[in-house]
Amino acid sequence: KNQVEQSPQSLIILEGKNCTLQCNYTVSPFSNLRWYKQDTGRGPVSLTIMTFSENTKSNGRYTATLDADTKQSSLHITASQLSDSASYICVVSGWMDSSYKLIFGSGTRLLVRP
């Protein structure tokens, strides 16, 4: 079964600290991996997108890494801010059962405290 597992489910950190969110997937064959940020009550917003040939992609204080061999990705947030409090969703896509599918993780809820 194609799955995307994220950890931890939730995380609390102090403002200014760094944190790393994990995404493990079993989707195969793999096409690309996206990280989205979803503020409470809002729609998800794309942070990064990586193909299997990319190892890292940055977007400001957000850096995503991808290891296609171990099927793992991480999202590192540097110098966290209160506005980083949100859910972070890992999405893996590929051609499965003759159709193109996006498999969503359940997300990691991050709370940044002052």
Partner 1 sequence: ETGVTQTPRHLVMGMTNKKSLKCEQHLGHNAMYWYKQSAKKPLELMFVYSLEERVENNSVPSRFSPECPNSSHLFLHLHTLQPEDSALYLCASSQVAFSGNTIYFGEGSWLTVV
If one counts every other C-beta atom within 10 angstroms of the C-beta of residue 74, the result is 17
Residues with Cβ within 8 Å of 72's Cβ and at least 6 positions away in sequence, in order, are 22, 23, 24, 25, 66
Q: Interacting stretch for partner 1, rule CB under 8 A, among 12-20, 26-34, 63-71, 73-81?
A: 26-34
Q: Which of 11, 49, 68, 96 binds partner 1 (CB under 8 A)?
A: 49
110 binds partner 1 (CB under 8 A): no
Least distance from C-beta 99 to partner 1, angstroms? 7
Question: Applying CB under 8 A, which of residues 12, 17, 42, 81 lies at the interface with partner 1?
Answer: 42
Question: Which of these segments, 12-20, 35-43, 59-67, 71-79, binds partner 1 (CB under 8 A)?
Answer: 35-43
